[in-house]
Amino acid sequence: MSTDKVADLLERNKEVSKSYKRPPPLGEGLEKRKKKGAKGTVIISCADPRITPEHFLGLNFGEAAIIRNGGGRTVDALRSILDLDSLGATGTVVVIHHTDCGMTYLSEEEFHDRVEKKHPDFAGRHPDFNYGAINDPEKSVVADVEYLKSFPTLAENMTIAGLVFDTFTGELKRMV
């Protein structure tokens, strides 16, 4: 990110902070949920800036924790799921992949080649790294849900669903 971009973001924040409404302290919310026996929701989605789960799911502020990464892959999101579940019980995990995803534009081999050229220090240390290329979002979301369900304590304690978001119609399709 260029210095000009960082300066621009800081300037925008000055305006936003003037009307910022602070959320309640996390501990209070966690304690309330615990007393009610409420379980949280985690959404795993792609980092694509066109795909905003808060918007297309009609979520209210604080309704779900959102984990975003390239392709919405669960291998990358697992640590965050475990962290969130440790803070407060997670009851539902929704994995969302989408059409026209950038992760469908390159094969795993092409990701390896490009990373090797742009970041040889990383590629040299991690030659078998999986970048998460997607051939078909309907198949990859099923594979990602199966990955999470392969951990018995997750599968036994959480509902884990897989959806595909159509980037051009705004519609969701449940795959798992």
Q: How far apart are the first and last CA of the chain?
A: 37
Q: Which residues are annotated as a binding site?
A: 46, 48, 98, 101
Nearest to 132 by CA among 156, 111, 160, 159: 111
Q: What is the reported pLDDT for 21?
A: 94
**Statement: residue 3 has pLDDT above 80:** no
152 to 4, 43, 120, 149, 156: CA distances (angstroms): 48, 20, 37, 7, 6
For the chain, give the mean pLDDT: 96
- Domain spans, the chain: 26-174
Instruction: Quick: pLDDT tens for 72-82.
Output: 999 999 999 99
Burial class of residue 44, CB neighbours in 10 A (0-12, 13-18, 19+): buried
**Statement: residue 1 has pLDDT above 70:** no
Helices (H) and strands (E) in the chain, counts: 8, 5
Instruction: Quick: pLDDT tens for 105-134.
Output: 999 999 999 999 999 999 999 999 999 999
Q: How many angstroms separate the CA atoms of 47 and 105, rounded?
A: 15
Instruction: Quick: pLDDT tens for 21-72.
Output: 999 999 998 999 889 999 999 999 999 999 999 999 999 999 999 999 999 9
Q: What is the reported pLDDT for 76?
A: 97
Q: What is the reported pLDDT for 100?
A: 98
- Superfamily of chain region 26-174: Carbonic anhydrase (3.40.1050.10)
Q: Please give the sequence-ordered ranges of beta strands (E in DSSP) within 70-168, or none if there are none.
A: 90-98, 159-165
Q: Which residues are annotated as a binding site for Zn(2+)?
A: 46, 48, 98, 101
Q: To the nearest whole percent, how much of the chain has pLDDT over 90?
A: 94
